[in-house]
Structure 1
């Protein structure tokens, strides 16, 4: 599968096999493990297809149970645990060859009430005034040639700009803060559920990396192994991933090789979503890592 936005949108629209069962696949280029953001996004799409159109996603959470294999089909099984007039709740398990690799839950609500309040975006430079990901990493791009990483996938799908880029290999210790302008490289339409799935997709990449910045390891450091453990997300207002949005990140704590990352996503100057994730970062010998 070519790493294009068109293929990403096709990949996220999981195939319905039964009333509550869906099938999904992964791009096989790059990393052997399924990208966590893909699991989040496909799970949102599966759960959302079992909910009436008037109920919109407002929160979801998930646990990454086992590393998924990009070469194998994914089965998503949805359980309808609440079907209320105003709220619907869904549980989900994702399997590969009968083994659970991800568990998720989501809540959907029919719009109600007139009061609205959104935290304003922090004062930052415009995306045009920040350095692009491609420009900053031009001298390190060769590191991706023989490296199984999700980085090339994200770079092909999203344009991103920041003042806080750091080396993939030897960044040194940095404060646990980050901020990135992002937008999808091609139009995605205005389906609310798909747009939310895309926001979940991109939100996964930088949360744990931000929390672990004080440890000083780069994303492509071969002496480390990292894994997302869990992810929660709240959706406050409609989002359009193919227009610029700002991802403001910080990592308030780290302990027992785990780091907690918190992110706020802003578009048109207002808060549209909040994401929180805990991840694991171990230094290890090549054969000693297990979750």
Structure 2
């Protein structure tokens, strides 16, 4: 399974600065947002000089992607300087835009480094494993298609803050978990950051929405990621344990903002932010085409 993920992240250049890619097929028709983030990083990163390393990216999810269709990544150079390179990417399927993004890359410079220490939390071996916590609800994955099952197969995750998939009740908008890829992914810096972005898409919006009391498998909800931004402060190894500390500072107009800090080896290696949409279908919602494209929670 991990080898399949690494294969689809290595998008292929078919013409100058144009790349194509495929999707993991896991029973969910919609492309997982983290996949589009990771593949966009890989496409943009292949067009900059090797000495320039990714330090930030951001993007908007425009339309739901279809896992059965080929994905096209059109990369546009914005800047190529001695210190920085900037890229834009437009991601389409059959000329329908599904994602737009940008990334900045920088050559190493300076010798000052300050990375905040990670929170004082128990080590992963002292936290409940995801599969163990959800063992009594595992049957839900057979009846409700979800990207959760794919993440569980790809990553080992442990947390003291798991909540039931059904009827968890209102909880504070905080979350934290240990995570690592189940198999080695090598030491390519661009690929490592792409895998990190892949892993970080799943839990931000749901953390922000915890006070509403709906679980991940709640059939009354329709959710989607709207945008995502990440900053990469230091090298990362997603196949080694890293801690993902999350909070949700705001929720309004059915949108929730999630903030995440990533730590490895006791220091902060990255920051992520995402705004997502969660509608409860019992509520009155706008009758417009966009309202009909929302899929099941991720």
TM-score range, shorter chain: over 0.9
Aligned match for 1:134, one of 131, 134, 137: 131
Structure 1: distance between partners of 2:38 and 2:293: 25
Q: Does the 8 Å contact 2:64/2:293 carry over to 1?
A: no
The CA deviation at 1:148 is 1.3
Secondary structure at 1:221 match in 2: coil
Provide the secondary structure at the position in 2 that maps to 1:103: strand
Counterparts of 1:164-175 in structure 2, within 5 Å, are: 164-175=161-172
Task: List gaps (5 residues or longer) in structure 2.
Answer: none
1:233 alignment partner in structure 2: 230
For the residue of structure 1 that corresponds to 2:30, the secondary structure is: coil
Which of 94, 97, 101 is 1:100 aligned to? 97
Task: Give the counterpart of 2:211 among 214, 218, 242.
Answer: 214
Matches within 5 A, 1:120-131: 120-131=117-128
> Following TM superposition, by how much is the alpha carbon of 1:289 offset from its aligned partner in structure 2, in angstroms?
3.5
Instruction: State how far apart, in whole Å, the 2-side matches of 1:153 and 1:268 are.
Output: 26
Q: CA deviation at 1:290?
A: 4.0
Deviation at 1:206, TM superposition (A): 0.4
The equivalences for 1:82-121 within 5 A come to 82-121=79-118
2:259 to 241, 258, 262: 262
- Quick check: 1:30–1:152 contact (8 Å CA) kept in 2? no
How far apart, in 1, do the equivalents of 2:97 and 2:131 lie? 36
The SS at the match of 1:34 is: coil
CA deviations over 1:107-159 (Å, ceiling 9, x no partner) = 00000000000000000000000000000000000000021110110000000
- For the Cα contact (< 8 Å) 1:81–1:91, is it kept in 2? yes
> Superposed, which structure 2 residues align to 1:161-200 within 5 Å?
161-200=158-197
Structure 1 segments, 4+ long, off by >4 Å, are 285-288
**2:168 is aligned with 1:150:** no
CA drift of 1:9 comes to 0.3
2:68, 2:87 → 1: CA distance?
A: 27
Deviations 1:166-209 (A, max 9, x none): 01111000000000000000000000000000000001000001
Deviation at 1:263, TM superposition (A): 0.1
Q: What SS does the aligned partner of 2:138 have?
A: helix
The answer to whether structure 1 residue 50 and structure 2 residue 28 are counterparts is no
Q: Which among 54, 76, 79 is matched to residue 76 of structure 2?
A: 79
2: CA distance, partners of 1:50 / 1:290: 33
**CA distance in structure 2 between the partners assigned to 1:218 and 1:164 by the alignment:** 13
Say yes or no: does 1:13 pair with 2:10. yes
Q: What stretches of structure 1 of length at least 5 have no aligned partner?
A: none
TM-score, with structure 1 as normaliser: 0.97
The CA deviation at 1:30 is 2.4
Name 1:201's counterpart in structure 2: 198
Q: What TM-score results when the alignment is normalised by the length of structure 2?
A: 0.95
Cα separation, 1, equivalents of 2:231 and 2:103: 10
Number of residue pairs matched by the alignment: 288
